[in-house]
Structure 1
Amino acid sequence: MAWKTLDDIDLNGKTVLVRVDINVPMENGVVTDATRIEKIVPTVKDIQGKGGKVVLLAHFDRPKGKVVPEMSLGHVKTALEAALGRKVVFGSDCIGAPAQAAIDAATGSDVVLLENTRFHAGEEKNDPALAQGMAALGDVYVNDAFSAAHRAHASTAGLAHLLPAAAGRLMEAELRALEAALGAPQRPVVAVVGGAKVSTKLDLLGNLVSKVDHLVIGGGMANTFLVAQGVEVGKSLAERDMAETAREILGKAQAAGCTIHLPVDVVVAREFKAGAANETVATGACPADAMILDAGPQTVAAIRAVFAGAKTLIWNGPLGAFEIEPFDAATNAAARAAAELTRAGQLISVAGGGDTVAALNKAGAAGDFSFISTAGGAFLEWMEGKDLPGVTALG
């Protein structure tokens, strides 16, 4: 779909309402990870460079429509000023007189930060009156919060229909990367889907088998597919009641010409703890008293071969219990192989989801991927083929 960028709208002399995601972790009133704040800096500076006044709209935590002082965005003001190198003027509401007063008080390169949009019950209900109240404060709307784009809220969807709207630089980069990965990708396309349960990724798997050439399934969900094929997995995590669903996905993949790759060898242990005694066995040879905790070296070699023949990779979820050694080996090895091919210019690699980002960082591979999405839910819904209200509203 087409969407406008900062280059398509005249921002000179305009008050620009910018929806951002600065829902950062905090401890004792101090931001412990400012990554999300740092990511919005290019958008803020570009708008100011084009003569616009920046007014930030954001949510923080889950106050459920009530004013909760510890969830005030005022707590991130200091970290925001440090990242932007700008004075931040804070408004004690996101609509009405307090918001307008903050906007009027900002001069020069000052940035305005308005209070938590979720302090209003109407935010999560996409209340038209709340959206109108926000729209009254500005001339242009910019959405730079892809991570909140799957929610039809007043500040992500409603507001976008009331003012000239565009994607910020972070949103633009995310949308371009996703379009390159699934919209109009270079083929062959391979997707890696891992994690614990098939049941949480049914829509994802159903959409991917019709879009990709190869689907690598790992983690606990691979065990469910093995069970569906009559393979015994001992005490491994497996959703045995999902076996029929797994068989349906396998059939759908075959009909679509998508090759599904399951482990051919596995690392098994009797207990789930770091450094547990373990052995590598063929997939069908898991002892009755053991559990599968990682894919084995033959499986990794097969995955590397699939990556080597691919042009595009989409990754969501680890291949094993990556949090504890030595059951992070398959995820680490596959991630490094993808990073190496990306670095060599042979692969476009896009990854997303909380566990995925943590796993790729742990493997030291994240920096070489073409694009890492920190969006979580929005990334997953995009992979599932769903429309994202916050993106659709920009079209």
Structure 2
Amino acid sequence: MKSITEVSNLENKRVILRLDLNVPLKNQEIQDETRILKMLPVINFLIEKKAKIIIISHVGRPKGEIQKELSLIPICENLKSKLNKDIKLITNNLLEIKKNDLFTATDEEIIFLENIRFYKEEEANDENFSKHLASLADLYVNDAFSCSHRAHASVCKITEFLPAYAGLQLNSEVEALKKVTSEIKKPVTCIIGGSKISTKIGIIKNLIPKFDNIIIVGGMANNILEYNGHSIGKSIKEDNCKDIIDEIFKTSKKFSCSIVYPEDVAVGKNLTDASKIKSLNEIENDDLILDIGPKTIEKIKLIIERSKTLLWNGPAGYFENINFANGSFEIAKKIVEKNNNNSIYSVAGGGDTNAVLNQIGAIEKFNFVSTAGGAFLEYLEGKDLPGITALN
């Protein structure tokens, strides 16, 4: 996979830059700028190299139809102010645009194409559409790792018709994930949470042969507790998981990977309740398990202390209620402590995990925090990502 930083001369070269600027919008107002901020380095790099930049992105799921509420106008305006540059948004039918229609003024540096998912050909990975996109530029850069699990025209097929390179953020993401999946410093630990164990079984199975510890927390852990004969009251759980859990324990034994789950818990009677610490044999029928308890926290902190590499995906409890955020906060603080003395390589990902880190100002204190969602999870499962394969 070649990086755009390897290209010696980009002056006046027309570069299609595929970004993921799929930020949450409410009444055309941006609710979270995180993804925009992560894309600034590659844009600034190309500006510095005096390239002509054609930005392609999407917002939402318009399914091949123009939807005004999913226009890139607010994102374009946001970038204008951040870069202090004039940016032209092309709203004309993309299929009717020719290369000579772009950059008609000599001082134009950045052009935005309107939401690429307004065209049904995008998600169909259409060859003719991809050829047309490619005809607008001299080379292509993918800095949208979070879209790279999609076999879409602007992510995948376009690379067949232009010299293709990885962007700065995509490179960083792949390098970080390699350090927790293939180029690992041991001991290595994964903390994994979420409400459904079935959605994470692919990750768990892929990581068990490589990892020393898999710590299961959150709603997923309730299934493990019930499997081991403990009452979980009225806590969230997933049905028909016995075979999945059988497989986890069987595989972990084969590869000498320790599976860790709660030894004590914090419960409430409802989601807005105060927290009460209980041992596993004290859980009542009307209890909701909403966080891990102090014994479990100390055990996890000890494992983190002994680890040199750590991957975190999924909070330890119902952190939306501060009474049940302690487990997640304590895990985060311990990882940050290790990071501060450079004794661990830490990667976190997933919307809820990132929200926890944001709450305590820890995002910048991890080695890498992914905003890639589905692509992040599929990479951890060991799946090929079409956008990465295309660049290779």
TM-score, normalised on structure 1?
A: 0.95
Q: Tell me which amino acid in the other structure corresponds to 1:299.
A: T
Instruction: Determine the structure 1 residue equivalent to 2:320.
Output: 323
CA offsets 1:267-326 (integer angstroms, 9 cap, x no match): 1222221xx244212223312221211100010000000000001110100111111121
Instruction: Determine the structure 2 residue equivalent to 1:338.
Output: 335
Instruction: Determine the structure 1 residue equivalent to 2:206.
Output: 207
Aligned in 2, Cα 1:351/1:93: closer, same or farther, shift over 3 Å?
Answer: farther
Residue 327 of structure 1, CA deviation: 0.7
Instruction: Determine the structure 2 residue equivalent to 1:39.
Output: 38
User: Which SS does the other structure have where 1:13 is aligned?
Assistant: coil
The answer on whether the counterparts of 2:47 and 2:109 sit within 8 Å (CA) in structure 1 is: no
Residue 169 of structure 1, CA deviation: 0.9
Residue 43 of structure 1, CA deviation: 0.8
Instruction: Determine the structure 2 residue equivalent to 1:82.
Output: 81
Instruction: Determine the structure 2 residue equivalent to 1:157.
Output: 156
Instruction: Determine the structure 1 residue equivalent to 2:103.
Output: 104
Alpha-carbon distance in structure 1 between the residues aligned to 2:228 and 2:202: 21
Alpha-carbon distance in structure 1 between the residues aligned to 2:90 and 2:323: 50
Instruction: Determine the structure 1 residue equivalent to 2:188.
Output: 189
User: Which SS does the other structure have where 2:339 is aligned?
Assistant: helix
Instruction: Determine the structure 2 residue equivalent to 1:6.
Output: 4
Show the 5 A alignment for 1:192-341.
192-273=191-272, 276-341=273-338
User: Which SS does the other structure have where 1:185 is aligned?
Assistant: coil
**In terms of mean alpha carbon deviation, does 276-285 or 185-194 score higher?**
276-285
Aligned in 2, Cα 1:103/1:306: closer, same or farther, shift over 3 Å?
Answer: same
Structure 2: state its 5+ residue gaps: none
> How many residues matched?
391
Structure 1: state its 5+ residue gaps: none
The answer on whether the counterparts of 1:228 and 1:244 sit within 8 Å (CA) in structure 2 is: no
CA offsets 1:356-387 (integer angstroms, 9 cap, x no match): 10112123322211111011111111111111
Alpha-carbon distance in structure 2 between the residues aligned to 1:346 and 1:229: 35
User: Which SS does the other structure have where 2:155 is aligned?
Assistant: helix
TM-score, normalised on structure 2?
A: 0.95
CA offsets 1:96-155 (integer angstroms, 9 cap, x no match): 444646523253362111111111111011011110110000111000111111111000
Q: Tell me which amino acid in the other structure corresponds to 1:89.
A: K
The answer on whether the counterparts of 2:197 and 2:220 sit within 8 Å (CA) in structure 1 is: yes
**In terms of mean alpha carbon deviation, does 103-112 or 254-263 score higher?**
103-112
Show the 5 A alignment for 1:168-179.
168-179=167-178
The answer on whether the counterparts of 2:275 and 2:324 sit within 8 Å (CA) in structure 1 is: no
The answer on whether the counterparts of 2:268 and 2:289 sit within 8 Å (CA) in structure 1 is: yes
Instruction: Determine the structure 2 residue equivalent to 1:63.
Output: 62
Instruction: Determine the structure 1 residue equivalent to 2:376.
Output: 379
Aligned in 2, Cα 1:388/1:93: closer, same or farther, shift over 3 Å?
Answer: farther
CA offsets 1:176-228 (integer angstroms, 9 cap, x no match): 11112212011111001011111221211211212211101001100101111
The answer on whether the counterparts of 2:274 and 2:323 sit within 8 Å (CA) in structure 1 is: no
The answer on whether the counterparts of 2:149 and 2:386 sit within 8 Å (CA) in structure 1 is: yes
Q: Tell me which amino acid in the other structure corresponds to 1:131.
A: S
Alpha-carbon distance in structure 1 between the residues aligned to 2:26 and 2:276: 41
The answer on whether the counterparts of 2:181 and 2:207 sit within 8 Å (CA) in structure 1 is: no
